Amino acid sequence: MIRSINTLLVPIPTIREHKLACTVMREQVLVLVHIQTEDGFEGWGEATTIGGLSYAEESPHSIKTNIDTYFTPLLLTEQPTTSAKAMQLLNLHISGNRFAKCAIETALLDIEGKRLGLPVSELIGGRVRDRIEVAWTLASGDTATDIAEAKQMVAQKKHRIFKLKIGSNPILDDVKHVLAIKQALPECRITVDVNQAWTELEAMKGIGLLQAGGVDLIEQPISMRNKAALKRLKEHFEVAIMADEIVQDPQNAFALAADHCADVFAVKINQAGGLKAACLIGQMAQLAGIELYGGTMLEGPIGTAASAHVFSTYPSLGFDTELFGPLLLTDDVLAQPLDYHDFGLTVPTGAGLGIEVDKDKVYHYAEHNAAALPK
């Protein structure tokens, strides 16, 4: 039996400004979900968005409000006995709200894993890898700062794949910035994320120049509403084109996969609507011959651990992951931080998510946000 479901808004400053085409981030607000059961188990889940409502249709506040107002009464009344039954119930009675659903499913799977003594990865298909490589996103807004940051990351064996956020400057300025970084780091994989900022014509020009300069992957160059144009770009260029914002729930991923609209899918647990939905998207991509990339909604450590469990189950993860969210934050909310070393992250092995949340830290940051405290 579920005894309680509490939600908290936990804002944590970022280590530097993080500039995307749609927003500039100075903090990340983690929406944490804490579920307790009558038989003494507790589970944690997390949802994040990027820049409030800048990136997607849910915000930290909408996630908290909708869980408190709609999800929690439904779950406490119906008392589903498993995470699968809970998700069935939520999907039947609540439309949309995939980020909120993801946070709830994460907490319930954490509990289920603890009860069974198994890591979440074993409940959602079974892990085939214990370590995953992690890219870093250079987004300071300044070329020299980005190069210095990247060189330091390589020297410290933290990251050797770099993603650049572009799309907010004139195309030729962005291309110059990317190619300067590619030239300064010839051994590294350099990818760009345009976050939908270009028109199809701009994308034809920009991608052509980036491809000629040796860039390795182009992410969501155009609007998520223009599926046909994404397919045209994918067919026109040799460089791999990755779908991100356009990949949403499994239903919509199925249509994209069937139509082979991209070379690579970025999968994000929040965007997918949960961990099992993200596994399903991975399986569909695999069947359609589409490569996989483990994406991030810049989650903190709880969402990142949950994502790592999902990506550990993918038979192949050709373009690796970008699970660097916790490293962008000035503080951690775990008793023991996630294990990042040698360019990658170790998938936790303990029961459930395999992490221990530092409640004092959580409440310390939540107190900066009075409305965030549990009732």
What count of residues does the chain have? 375
Site string for ligand MUC, 310-349 (x = CB under 6 A): ------------x---------------------------
Site string for ligand MUC, 162-201 (x = CB under 6 A): ---x---------------------------x-x------
Token pair recorded at residue 229: 């144009």
246: alpha, beta or left? (left if phi > 0; alpha if psi -120 to 50): alpha
Q: Does 322 bind Mg ion (CB under 5 A)?
A: no
**C-alpha span between 74 and 1 (Å, rounded):** 13
Cβ-based nearer residue to ligand MUC, 139 or 362? 139
The residue annotated as part of the active site, out of 19, 64, 163, 165, is 165
Question: For residues 252-281, which are near Mg ion according to CB under 5 A?
Answer: none
295, 344, 348, 354: which one binds ligand MUC (CB under 6 A): 295
Cβ-based nearer residue to Mg ion, 119 or 221? 221
Please identify, among the stretches 26-34, 37-45, 290-298, 344-352, the one whose residues bind ligand MUC according to the rule CB under 6 A. 290-298
Q: Does 296 bind ligand MUC (CB under 6 A)?
A: yes
**C-alpha span between 366 and 375 (Å, rounded):** 13
116, containing H or E segment: helix 98-116
Terminal CA-CA length for the chain: 20
Active-site annotation holds for 231: no
Nearest Cα neighbor of 194 from 19, 17, 18, 21 is 21
Residues 6+ positions from 189 with CB-CB distance below 8 Å:
135, 160, 161, 162, 216, 217
Q: Does 298 bind ligand MUC (CB under 6 A)?
A: yes
Residues in contact with ligand MUC by the rule CB under 6 A: 20, 50, 137, 139, 165, 193, 195, 244, 295-296, 298, 322
Mind telling me the catalytic residues?
A: 165
